[in-house]
Structure 1
């Protein structure tokens, strides 16, 4: 079947969600990691997946992106069922993944890393718009990936996927190991992207950072969503959240 045919719309979207995940199971080899996770993301939202290490948050992002070896269930993006599609087709549908390890090519310059992913759809940011978000990148344009700080690598990893035209961004632990001033900059960037119409699913251990950018929080435990907390309900649920996260 041609890839264009694979991307035909399903008869109806799930409640108008941009992304609807239903009864999603996923495996690493023989290890069953996702046990029927279900959640929705509406267009223009920032949603976080919160949970302890090993809960299945990163695996969920990989399953959505089509880079998990074995998965079963339903993932409907923009009215299209994607569960059986390869990652290259999912990317062209408008989903981009920024992994925790960032994936910066050490031997390439900032400019080469930035221009590496192909543009898959209209609507991506121009290079100048990316430099406006991350001025450090313009200053380090000729520097090799090995010469960048952790914060600069994270800026480059996010900036790189903004060029592609993806409308759904999957960000895995974007603040991990970064200095507070860089964490604050990443937060401002996510807020600006939301105002520009991007939809974001964010895996984050730092729930105080998550609270500063997100609309809703899904709590993940043992490969399932066990609770949903709106951001305006966070303070009243703080003890419960501490119990969930073990903090």
Structure 2
């Protein structure tokens, strides 16, 4: 078994006085796609933001490439090789597609060039000079994912990449993530669309009320379907 690239142990997170994460533990091994499932409000996004250093108050341990990062700021975590694509996408509306793609700094070798990104997301190559604010929701999602692929990050964290998108765009994004997986990228994915995620993930964690309540590998998916129906109401 490969060593864990990311190890989260007994993670607690707070928004003000609200205790949101209650001892979350998970790991992601190099080259895996790991999906974090759960209903709205279960703590999935907070988990990603905590790993990225975007939650001010956190307790526990987050180790990336063997280094403890719980006390590091977001910019330092990013420079270690963690990239985050938020649910709200964060596209710069006044910048062109090309400017958005070129904005993040390169932190290491192994990132994709523009031609490789356009091969994954053909729509972007056709909208190269268009302002980010003029793109469709699906194109903005492609741009948000494409933007983090240039940097050379070792871990990609994608938060709800199919939320609110048309089925044809969902398929295109699934194909792109499948291609990244085939190339050895490591991905931690938060997703409501379980059936879509099930075709991509190597392992699953299920969250409820800020805790991990179940975990299993894709080979055990069929035997866990009843539990997933209960936890996710799908």
**Structure 2 partner of 1:12:** none
Alpha-carbon shift at residue 232 of structure 1 (Å): 1.9
**Structure 1 partner of 2:67:** 80
- Secondary structure, in 3 states, of the residue corresponding to 1:213? coil
- Secondary structure, in 3 states, of the residue corresponding to 1:76? strand
Q: How does 1:154-169 map to 2 (within 5 A)?
A: 154-169=141-156
Which 4+ stretches in 1 moved above 3 angstroms?
Answer: none
Alpha-carbon shift at residue 107 of structure 1 (Å): 1.0
TM value normalised by structure 1: 0.92
Alpha-carbon shift at residue 60 of structure 1 (Å): 0.3
**Structure 2 partner of 1:118:** 105
Q: Aligned residue pairs: how many?
A: 233
TM value normalised by structure 2: 0.97
C-alpha RMSD over aligned residues: 1.0
Q: Which runs of 5+ in 1 are unaligned?
A: 1-14
The answer as to 2:187 corresponding to 1:187 is no
**Structure 2 partner of 1:230:** 217
Q: Which runs of 5+ in 2 are unaligned?
A: none
**Structure 1 partner of 2:119:** 132
Deviations 1:101-137 (A, max 9, x none): 0001111111111111111111110111111111111
Alpha-carbon shift at residue 229 of structure 1 (Å): 2.1
Counterparts of 2:139 and 2:222, CA distance in 1? 32
**Structure 2 partner of 1:6:** none
Counterparts of 2:125 and 2:159, CA distance in 1? 24
The answer as to 2:129 corresponding to 1:142 is yes
Counterparts of 2:209 and 2:142, CA distance in 1? 31
**Structure 2 partner of 1:242:** 229
**Structure 1 partner of 2:36:** 49
Counterparts of 1:150 and 1:232, CA distance in 2? 33
